[in-house]
Structure 1
C-alpha cells in the first residue's frame, strides 16, 4: 500500500491547488472595471455585466456645494398650464442638470463645466408640428446677454443638445453665467412661456487630473468628470457614447444611474435625439 499512497497524495495536492487557483481567478474574470471595454467601440473584449455588477460599480456623481454669494435659484422643469399656453404633456420640459431644494422650498439649479463652450441638454416634450417659438439665452453675471439662439423643435419628443458655438464668447474661469431655455406657445404672447433656467460656472481641474483626462478612453473620462463634480462634460460624454452604442445595456444602465442621481429618473428612458453642436 505504501507504493500507491504517495502518488495518490501527490495527485490530491495538485488537484486541490489547481482548484484553489481557479476559484481565486473567477471573481477577477467576472468583475469588469470602469476602465474595461463595455462596448466594441472601445476595442477588445466585450464584457456583458450582470445587472447587479453594473449597479455595484455605477459611477457616483459628486455634486459640488453651491458657490459663495446669493443662491443661484433656477427652474429645472417647465410645467405647462391650462389656457392659451403650451399644451399639457405627460412629461414637462426638463433641463438635464443638477438641482437642490432647500428647506424653504427654494430650488437651486447649478452645475460646473471646464469647457470654454459647453453643451446643455434638455428634454423637449413638443415636436415641430407645434407652432411654438423656442429660444436659448445665455447671460453673464451682470445679466448682459452674450448668446441667443432660436431652437427648432424636434421630430419627436426627446432629449436635445444645445452647444455654445465658436462664434460666441468663451466662458471665463470662476465666472457664473445664467442660461434660459424658453418655449413660447402663445402667438399673441398673452400667456407666460414655459421655461427652465439655471446657472453654470466654469472651473479648472488640477494638472494631474487634466493629464489623466488627456490619456484615457471616453468611459473613464466620463467617470473622472463625474467624480470631480463636473456635470456638463460627464453628461456630454455619456450622451455621445449612448448615441454611438444605442443597444449597449451597460451604457443604458450608467445613463439611468446618472440621471437618477439628480432625481430625473423619469427622463432616463427618453431618447437622445441630437448630438449636433
Structure 2
C-alpha cells in the first residue's frame, strides 16, 4: 500500500462537488431500430471536477519496468481522460451506483503469474477496498465490480482507484498501473423516468448523453457479453470507445467476469 499512498501524496484532498442537475436528452423514439439506437451511444463529457485536478493515467507503460513483457495495447483503463494545462492528464468518470463496475483492457494472462491488485481510496487517500485480481486466460477487457460488502460510495464524493500489475513475485521492481477518479452523482428525476421505460441499449445511450460514463459502459458491455455477435451492439461499443479515443480496444474481446 505504500506505493498507492505515495502515488496519491501529490494530490490534495478532493473537493466535494456541488449537487448535479443533469440535462435531459431528447426522448428516444420507440420506433427507432436497434441499429439506429446503437449509433446514438456517444459520450457527452461533463465539466471536469474542481481544483485540484484528479490526475491519473489511462495507459500502463513498461518503459521503467524491464521485467514486464512488452505488449500492445498496454494495460488500459476504459475511462475518459482530459488534459489540463500544462501537462496534467485527468482520468475520471461519473456513476450513479453505490457499488459500481469498472472496466480495463488486461494484456497479461495468468501464465505470466504477475501479482495484480485493485485498490479504492477515499478522499483522504485511505484505502477502503483492496482486492487481488486473478489474471484471465487470454488478453481482453475485464470488469472489476465493487462487491455488496464493500463500503458504499457516497453521492458527490470522489474516490481514487488503482489497478496495479507487478512484474515480479516479490514486488520489488516498479509496477505497471493505471489510476483515476470515480464520483457518484444523482441524476435528474426526468432522466430517471426515461431510464425506467427504456430498453437496456437505450439506457446506455441515455447514460452516455448525460455524462454517466461508468453506467453507460457497464450496461453496454453486459449486453455484448450476452450477445457478442450482435452487429448493432458492436457498432454501439465502437462508437462509445472511439468517442474517448480508445480505438485500439474496440476489437478486443470482453471476457467473462470470472475467467478461468
TM-score by length of 1: 0.79
Question: Pairwise CA RMSD of aligned residues?
Answer: 1.9
- Answering whether residue 92 of structure 2 is matched by residue 110 of structure 1, we say yes
Listed as ranges, the matches of 1:184-263 within 5 Å are 184-263=166-245
Distance 2:65 2:89 in 1: 26
Q: Which structure has the greater CA radius of gyration?
A: 1
Listed as ranges, the matches of 1:79-94 within 5 Å are 79-81=61-63, 84-94=66-76
Runs (5+) with no aligned partner, structure 1: 1-31, 39-48
Match for 1:97 among 79, 91, 113? 79
Listed as ranges, the matches of 1:163-182 within 5 Å are 163-182=145-164
Q: Decide whether aligned partners of structure 1 residues 248 and 69 sit closer, same or farther in structure 2, where only a CA change above 3 A counts.
A: same
Q: Secondary structure at the match of 2:222?
A: helix
Distance 1:191 1:85 in 2: 8
Listed as ranges, the matches of 1:40-79 within 5 Å are 49=35, 57-79=39-61
Identify the structure with bigger relative contact order (alpha carbons < 8 Å, sequence gap 6+).
2
Q: Decide whether aligned partners of structure 1 residues 147 and 34 sit closer, same or farther in structure 2, where only a CA change above 3 A counts.
A: farther
Q: Who is 1:125 aligned against?
A: 107
Kindly provide the CA deviation profile for residues 248-267 of structure 1, in whole angstroms up to 9, marking residues without a partner as x: 11111111111101001001
Match for 1:271 among 238, 253, 257? 253
Distance 1:110 1:177 in 2: 9
Q: Secondary structure at the match of 1:161?
A: strand
Q: Secondary structure at the match of 1:129?
A: helix
Q: Secondary structure at the match of 2:186?
A: coil
Distance 2:30 2:72 in 1: 35
Distance 2:233 2:162 in 1: 29
Asked whether the equivalents of residues 37 and 201 of structure 2 are also in contact (C-alpha less than 8 Å), the reply is no
- Answering whether residue 132 of structure 2 is matched by residue 143 of structure 1, we say no
Number of aligned residue pairs: 231
Q: Secondary structure at the match of 2:116?
A: strand
TM-score by length of 2: 0.84
Moved more, 211-220 or 164-173: 211-220
Q: Secondary structure at the match of 1:272?
A: coil
Distance 1:221 1:75 in 2: 28
Higher share of residues assigned helix: 1
Distance 1:188 1:157 in 2: 23
Q: Who is 2:11 aligned against?
A: none
Displacement after TM superposition at 1:83 (Å): 5.5
Runs (5+) with no aligned partner, structure 2: 1-27
Q: Who is 2:141 aligned against?
A: 159
Asked whether the equivalents of residues 240 and 275 of structure 1 are also in contact (C-alpha less than 8 Å), the reply is no
Displacement after TM superposition at 1:35 (Å): 6.3
Asked whether the equivalents of residues 142 and 255 of structure 2 are also in contact (C-alpha less than 8 Å), the reply is yes
Kindly provide the CA deviation profile for residues 195-229 of structure 1, in whole angstroms up to 9, marking residues without a partner as x: 00000000000111112212221011111100000
Q: Decide whether aligned partners of structure 1 residues 156 and 75 sit closer, same or farther in structure 2, where only a CA change above 3 A counts.
A: same
Asked whether the equivalents of residues 112 and 229 of structure 1 are also in contact (C-alpha less than 8 Å), the reply is yes
